[in-house]
Structure 1
């Protein structure tokens, strides 16, 4: 289906942009610049790994389990910060972390391309009891990815504050 191909292709384009940016960031920027959630660039990259991993599982479950899937939701209620801390992204080797983010998202795009289109209207329920379809979830994936790509670009562009 064209929708699935487009989402996969759009995500890969964003991933390539992010990877090219991450190759040239200095250590100081990786560890000191923080977003509005107080996350470093390293932690944001870790969050993108978690997002790809969790969404891959949701996509797979939504294709073989009964609709109205109530899947553990790591993104709401502050739980994603626990994921970042427990996996200790702060101390992860930077090059390895970038590669893990890259290949986790490449896998995600492959999973998206292979979704059974008859399952696109299957419904998942978030931790906040919001219902959304598999189709809505995958449409949002590159939007979410771009939000973090733009966030990282903004953090890199910030000037150091004088002491």
Structure 2
């Protein structure tokens, strides 16, 4: 699956770049109401974990309803006080689990649906949306340095 290959490539590049990122920049909160780069990566972990539920359950449940409050997840995971090394490794592991799940999807399961909010989406749409969401937040984390990433 091309999306799985793309996610794997993105993950490898992002992990290397995160390990090289200045720790002060990674942890800096410019505004108490906004996430730091570290919390954005934490949010990507949360998003990945919730989407794993969607990707798995959509294959055997009819229209599973899976939602989460992203701000509460980031808050209660307390990513700002968690080790940067652990956050980067957890990010890597969650993304690689998603790659593995996507590579094992049957064609028939890609058209199954899942309820997100009040909308019904196919698994294939959720896969593409997941990649777009990930890229959006990676752009936030790396801003000026984003030219290093070829998506």
Same fold, TM exceeding 0.5?
Answer: yes
Tell me how far apart the structure 2 counterparts of residues 155 and 19 of structure 1 sit (CA, whole Å): 17
* Equivalent of residue 101 in structure 1, options 80, 91, 111: 91
Q: Tell me the C-alpha RMSD between the 2 structures.
A: 1.8
Q: CA deviation at 1:139?
A: 1.6
| Per-residue deviation, residues 55-100 of structure 1 (Å, max 9, x unmatched) | 111111000112x2222x12xxxx2010011111111111111001
What TM-score results when the alignment is normalised by the length of structure 2?
A: 0.88
Instruction: Determine which structure has more spread, i.e. the larger CA radius of gyration.
Output: 1
Runs of 5+ unmatched residues, structure 2 = 147-151
Residue 143 in 1 paired to residue 115 in 2? no
Higher helix proportion (structure 1 or 2):
2
* Equivalent of residue 26 in structure 2, options 8, 23, 30: 30
1:124 corresponds to: 114
Q: CA deviation at 1:34?
A: 4.8
Q: CA deviation at 1:27?
A: 2.1
- Size of the aligned set, in residue pairs, is 145
Runs of 5+ unmatched residues, structure 1 = 158-163
What TM-score results when the alignment is normalised by the length of structure 1?
A: 0.82
CA pair 33-14 structure 1, distance change in 2 beyond 3 A: farther
Q: CA deviation at 1:147?
A: 1.0
Greater RCO, 1 or 2 (C-alpha within 8 Å, sep 6+) = 1
Tell me how far apart the structure 2 counterparts of residues 155 and 41 of structure 1 sit (CA, whole Å): 14
- Contact kept, 8 Å, 1:11 with 1:109, in 2: the verdict is yes
Tell me how far apart the structure 1 counterparts of residues 103 and 144 of structure 2 sit (CA, whole Å): 32
SS of residue matched to 2:98:
helix
